[in-house]
Structure 1
Amino acid sequence: MGILQFGQFQLPYFMSFLNNFASKTFNIIQQKVTYVSNTSSRRLFKSLAISGLVLYITYILLSAHQCCHSSLFFTNSKQKWSPYAGPNSPTNVNHLVFGIAGSSNTWGHKKGYIEAWWKPNVTRGYLFLDRPPIENLPWPSSSPAFRISEDNSKYNAYHKHRMPFAIRMVRVIEETFKAENRGDIRWYVMADDDTVLFIDNLVDVLSKYDHTKYFYIGTNSECALSNFYNSYEMAFGGAGYALSYPLAQAVAKNMDLCIKRYPTLFGSDHMLQSCIADLGVSLTGEKGFHQIDLHRDISGLLSAHPQSPFLSLHHLDVVDPIFPSMDRHGSVNHLMKAAKVDSSRLLQQSICYHKQNNWTFSISWGYSTQIYEKIFPPSFLHRPLETFAQWRKGATPPYMFNTRFPLNDPCEAPHVFFFESVNKTRGNHIFTSYARKSPRGLPACSLYGNHSAAGISKIDVLSPLRSYGGAGSRRECCDVVQLVGMNAMAVKLRACKRDEIVG
């Protein structure tokens, strides 16, 4: 005998939950209402309680299935977004709507990634789940409002697809557009439930583009094979991507046709890219989105970020925690401490030198600093140190960028210091501190006279209070301004002088 379902909500599970809920409620009331004492009255009272709850929760479920409030029982669904500033105002966070593809089975673990960047009553949008998240109730105000994805079984392709959930995920853009399509919206940003976004940087980047035109903004994978098997012109969904209003409107209108036209494509992001290509729109690349189709330690990549605002991180569950001695969620929250103070500089790389000791400093603001016991030009250090492993073994070439292979040569292996704290109260500068987590374990580089950096345990970095970056900006230069005692160094970031060549 089949199990009666409401959407993907199993009735036996629901009735068990309801019985328990009603029993607990009845017991509480029973303690207070002492005059309901005989057996028949108690049975009648319990039956009435269950009937009332069935009617109430059925109403909530029906409304949740179509408009899916944040909670089945609580009033967290009403969003208090900031007022619209006008059609000619600069793009701000109120002009963005977020559509997040998730699963109730994994939300309990992955919500920490979303809650690290989500701003209740500021960010607007929805988390789309495959079924009501009963096990995660009551729904917290720190999470996005959820909706239950519409029934996709009407699509013949759904039943034949190797990954049926891909059709549900590709329709998130359509369902987000139907939920939020007022005239003040300029951009629709799509992401997965394990994507970490950096909102202020995202707003700054999208401000460069004309939202009244057709824009599809994102990035491809770091893994060459992932792009080969999908498309080099595809924005990978885990990294996140943005669609301008007119493009999102066109995609939503043609979604059924696109699904029918591309029933065999493996991933939802490939289906979407194919649909967008058919609309005559190509990918506009932004290097700050990061799919992270990599494994193991990605500190080498994050320490040599491209000269572009840092926009997203994905796949953090398949790589090592980005900060040593912290877990994955703790690492993300730690990085957010720097982002909240100055997201414009986050992970931006600066190179400077302490020439008395022939040391090179590489600063990835808010994440790490490195000391090399040799003078290296920026063109060398802009290539990430390959601390990570391939997403798919044996790929040639493995990556979409050049790397440096780690060596046990004391002249080439860096001393690594990770972000520890941030403070913006020191005059007109932001003060960040970086601490060594483990010894390098190598002798000093003897090439220029054994000037070992092994005794340095801390590096302080001073950066200007003004925002960094913008179109046509150069990387910041820096100076080693003082030696603080015997075990700490201080570095000051500054704008490069006209025609200055670093080194």
Structure 2
Amino acid sequence: MPTMVWLRRSTTPFCCDECGAVSYRLTPLSAKCSPRLREVNSPPRSVPGGSRPGAPASCGSSPVIAEGIAVASASASSFPSACASNSPSPPPPPPSLPPIRVSEDTSRFRYTNPTGHPSGLRIAHIAAEAMRLVGGGGTRWVVLVDDDIVLSPDNLVVVLGKYDWREMVYVGAPSESHSANNYFSHGMAFGGEGVALSFPLAIALARTLDVCIERYPRLYGSDDRLHACITELGVPLSREYGFHQWDIRGNAHGILAAHPIAPFISIHHVEFVDPIYPGLNSLESLELFTKAMKTEPMSFLQRSVCYDKKQKLTLAISLGYVVQVYPSVLLPPELERSERTYIAFNRMSQRTEFDFDTKEIQKSMCKKPVLFFLKDVWKDGNITRGSYIRSSERDDLKRKVFCFRSPPSSDIDEIQVSASPLSKRWHLAPRRLCSDVKGYVNGTLFMFVRQCGRGAFGSASDSLD
């Protein structure tokens, strides 16, 4: 496993379970952690923080470490008095963790953006400070992330393994928002979801950053300053579709049900979306979400489509999230599009606001799918099994009256999906997964998902032709 330096770029207090190995999960200052979670806070800082307009006030940070990964923390807060009054004195960190570091004073640099905050300078400068902090020591990658993020270190390590860390490499993804990309750049990695810099690129940045950022006083924040300086070095963005800035609000169902065919790496802004699973609150949803992510990281949120030719049904699976049963045959190009159940971070909702393929929410009751959401997931040997329970929003009678037919799978309350592990090279040439319906017993439908064989044409061709 390559060694990485992790930098949390902001300081929202959070509760986490197995931090660093899985995710950062947020709760407000006044919230209580469940018995299996622990609250982590660091002493208040007197320096400003936050990288986006309207970002929530934040108070504490803590370094975390995962096996084989070097971890560093550098962050700041703009409300020290509030932190002092709400946050208890933190316990001393375990000796295995690196010390908490306060980022350097950057007031010597000019900042003239009329709508931003000079904290963007300080956060950008962390990339250079990190290199002085760790020196060499076998470090291959420097990764900057925000703390309101769910992150899969396992998939991140696998994805970065595709690149030669001995070269200058800049890995990440732009925003989902067309407006944000137009304002900043379509070739900029947004830092909330994670920015990965290879060691040579980080070294070059450390040597040139002070001079470089002085040339860009009118830029808004930290991400665009890093991008400007990396652009001066001539290094383009290597886009990875598993990074998700998630510049969205509301119901994230449309994105989660149509995840790109790529390893899931991160989602940002988890506090601005509705609970992921119906019937659970935000923290409970994130617990189940990260449990599914940990159980089988590579296949998490990967999709499969299969058909019941006799009943003319379409079953669309997003592993670890949902099974959608459509009352008609929908071909894969239609299912590839994300249903706009959400709005953009700037509260715009039209199709042209999003830089990926979307479609309108299906309004016809007769065409809407029946949804089965993940209830639990577990390992059975090398097979991953998930139980997906029918959504409580049942409208069977209305469908029967107005659609002149019973709703699809009206006698099914649970779908149990078994999935075999993907090959270690799947991410190098990713492909949508194949699946089959294996049978039906006492209200439970059984399905099996697998990596498509080289001779397979895919579920549509195999099921409908």
TM-score by length of 1: 0.75
Q: Which residue of 1 aligns with 2:46?
A: none
Establish whether residue 484 from structure 1 lines up as the match of residue 441 from structure 2. yes
What do the CA deviations read for 1:116-145 (whole angstroms, capped 9, x no partner)? 527635232222132687635125659985
Q: Which residue of 2 aligns with 1:500?
A: 457
- 8 Å Cα contact 1:411-1:445 kept in structure 2: no
Question: Structure 1 193/110 Cα, relative in aligned 2: closer, same or farther at 3 Å?
Answer: farther
Of residues 413, 420, 445 in structure 1, which corresponds to 2:375? 420
Q: CA deviation at 1:274?
A: 0.6
Of residues 84, 101, 104 in structure 1, which corresponds to 2:9? 101
Q: Which residue of 2 aligns with 1:153?
A: 107
Establish whether residue 138 from structure 1 lines up as the match of residue 98 from structure 2. no
Paired residues for 1:252-267 under 5 Å: 252-267=206-221
CA distance in 1, matches of 2:258, 2:97: 32
Amino acid at match of 2:123: M
Amino acid at match of 1:475: R
What do the CA deviations read for 1:246-278 (whole angstroms, capped 9, x no partner)? 000011111111220111101210111011000
- 8 Å Cα contact 2:305-2:315 kept in structure 1: yes
- 8 Å Cα contact 1:111-1:193 kept in structure 2: no
- 8 Å Cα contact 1:420-1:434 kept in structure 2: yes
Percent identity, please. Answer: 34
Q: Which residue of 1 aligns with 2:411?
A: 455
Q: Which residue of 2 aligns with 1:129?
A: 75
Q: CA deviation at 1:377?
A: 1.0
Amino acid at match of 2:356: F
- 8 Å Cα contact 1:113-1:332 kept in structure 2: no
Establish whether residue 328 from structure 1 lines up as the match of residue 285 from structure 2. no
- 8 Å Cα contact 1:110-1:194 kept in structure 2: no
CA distance in 1, matches of 2:247, 2:98: 26
For residue 296 of structure 2, give the secondary structure of its aligned residue in structure 1.
Answer: helix
Question: Structure 1 339/250 Cα, relative in aligned 2: closer, same or farther at 3 Å?
Answer: same
Establish whether residue 187 from structure 1 lines up as the match of residue 141 from structure 2. yes
- 8 Å Cα contact 2:142-2:199 kept in structure 1: yes
**Which ranges in structure 1 are unaligned for 5 or more consecutive residues?**
1-91
Q: Which residue of 2 aligns with 1:397?
A: 352
Q: Which residue of 1 aligns with 2:23?
A: 117
- Structure with bigger helix share is 1
Q: Which residue of 1 aligns with 2:311?
A: 357
For residue 217 of structure 1, give the secondary structure of its aligned residue in structure 2.
Answer: strand
Q: CA deviation at 1:309?
A: 0.5
Q: CA deviation at 1:460?
A: 0.5
What do the CA deviations read for 1:379-420 (whole angstroms, capped 9, x no partner)? 111111111112224566110111121123234311112212
- 8 Å Cα contact 1:440-1:454 kept in structure 2: no
- 8 Å Cα contact 1:411-1:444 kept in structure 2: no
Q: CA deviation at 1:194?
A: 0.9
- 8 Å Cα contact 2:249-2:347 kept in structure 1: no
Q: CA deviation at 1:151?
A: 1.3
Q: CA deviation at 1:232?
A: 0.7
Q: Which residue of 2 aligns with 1:196?
A: 150
CA distance in 1, matches of 2:113, 2:286: 37
Paired residues for 1:169-248 under 5 Å: 169-248=123-202
CA distance in 1, matches of 2:16, 2:406: 49
CA distance in 2, matches of 1:110, 1:275: 34
- 8 Å Cα contact 1:456-1:489 kept in structure 2: yes
Question: Structure 1 139/117 Cα, relative in aligned 2: closer, same or farther at 3 Å?
Answer: farther
For residue 307 of structure 2, give the secondary structure of its aligned residue in structure 1.
Answer: strand
Q: CA deviation at 1:446?
A: 8.3
CA distance in 1, matches of 2:331, 2:93: 49
**Which ranges in structure 2 are unaligned for 5 or more consecutive residues?**
25-63, 461-465
Higher relative contact order (CA 8 A, sep 6+): 2
Larger radius of gyration: 1
Question: Structure 1 440/253 Cα, relative in aligned 2: closer, same or farther at 3 Å?
Answer: farther
Aligned residues: 406
Question: Structure 1 390/143 Cα, relative in aligned 2: closer, same or farther at 3 Å?
Answer: farther
Q: Which residue of 2 aligns with 1:443?
A: 399
Q: Which moved more, 1:232-241 or 1:352-361?
A: 352-361
CA distance in 2, matches of 1:236, 1:216: 11
Question: Structure 1 113/188 Cα, relative in aligned 2: closer, same or farther at 3 Å?
Answer: same
CA distance in 1, matches of 2:268, 2:9: 13
- 8 Å Cα contact 2:372-2:391 kept in structure 1: yes
What do the CA deviations read for 1:55-111 (whole angstroms, capped 9, x no partner)? xxxxxxxxxxxxxxxxxxxxxxxxxxxxxxxxxxxxx1x5111111123xxx32476
- 8 Å Cα contact 1:220-1:235 kept in structure 2: yes
TM-score by length of 2: 0.81
Q: CA deviation at 1:171?
A: 1.1
- 8 Å Cα contact 1:372-1:411 kept in structure 2: no
Question: Structure 1 139/165 Cα, relative in aligned 2: closer, same or farther at 3 Å?
Answer: farther
CA distance in 2, matches of 1:117, 1:144: 18
Q: Which moved more, 1:172-181 or 1:116-125?
A: 116-125
Q: Which residue of 1 aligns with 2:51?
A: none
What do the CA deviations read for 1:29-50 (whole angstroms, capped 9, x no partner)? xxxxxxxxxxxxxxxxxxxxxx
Q: Which residue of 2 aligns with 1:287?
A: 241
- 8 Å Cα contact 1:406-1:413 kept in structure 2: no
CA distance in 1, matches of 2:74, 2:359: 40
State the superposition RMSD in angstroms.
2.6
Q: Which moved more, 1:254-263 or 1:125-134?
A: 125-134
CA distance in 2, matches of 1:342, 1:399: 29
CA distance in 2, matches of 1:305, 1:502: 18
- 8 Å Cα contact 1:445-1:452 kept in structure 2: no
Question: Structure 1 172/113 Cα, relative in aligned 2: closer, same or farther at 3 Å?
Answer: farther
